[in-house]
Amino acid sequence: MATGQANDLSAGALFDVSHVTAVVTGGATGIGLMITQALQSNGAKVYITGRRQEVLDQTVKMYSTGPGQIIALRGTKQRPARHERRQGHLEHFLRSSEEQWLETMQTNVVGAYFMSMAFLPLLAKGGPRRSRRTPARKRRRRTWSRMLATIFKDVQVRVNVIAPGLFPSEMTAGKSGEDNKSTLDQSKATNPTGRLGEERDMAATILFLAGRGGAFYNGQIVYPDGGSTLIQPAVAN
């Protein structure tokens, strides 16, 4: 029979992330900031990346309250030589030019794929609970996440996807305030829960996946969406 920590069913043991070192891309605003706050508030060391140094610095200044740590790393906008530089904000592909649609694909699919591959050597050294998690909304990202989970299993790296419903962010609200957070009218909520996603919803999700309680999950998609997939089931397929 297992003994010690394996038998500890307390919330502190199941969702402890004080042993975690995380990289949160886009971790200075929106859902990324929610994840950053949840991890650092529970003792994790969190590296946040983004294109805007001033936004990264503001997040470090405002939310490095401990017991964890937030460290800002400005990301590069350079793509491989065969691609153009990324610029502007993302638009829904049905309302976009071909160039804008390709940029969306580069960010949501290609960028996430190569980010995962770039961090694989570090993840492989991280111990038996190491994991790669990413917020995702697109079917293609869910497809490649399963592909990566299959490839990474041989080096004991887990890949799970967070597919959120409607949360306040720069993508959904169009901007953020001086606190790097966004607001949305609750009337925009169309899910059975009747409200938008909140910080606690995303915090609970990431603490579960990053903590020991989620160590048995691999290749899974988690939907913190208030039940949106119940009324839009195609989203989950």
Rounded Cα distance, 202 and 160, in Å:
14
pTM over 0.75: no
HSE-CB at 76 with a 13 A cutoff on CA atoms is 5
- Give the number of other CB atoms < 10 A from CB of residue 41: 17
Identify the pLDDT of residue 216. Answer: 95
Domain ranges of the chain: 88-236
Identify the pLDDT of residue 157. Answer: 87
- Give the number of other CB atoms < 10 A from CB of residue 25: 18
Identify the pLDDT of residue 213. Answer: 94
* 110 contacts: CB under 8 Å, gap ≥ 6: none
Over residues 105-133, mean pLDDT:
66
Higher pLDDT, 104 or 193: 193
Beta bridge partners of 50: 74
Assign domain 88-236 to a CATH class.
Answer: alpha beta
Over residues 41-45, mean pLDDT:
95
Summarised one tens digit per residue, pLDDT across range 58-101 is 999 999 998 999 999 987 654 433 333 333 332 333 344 567 65
The H or E element that residue 222 is part of is strand 221-222
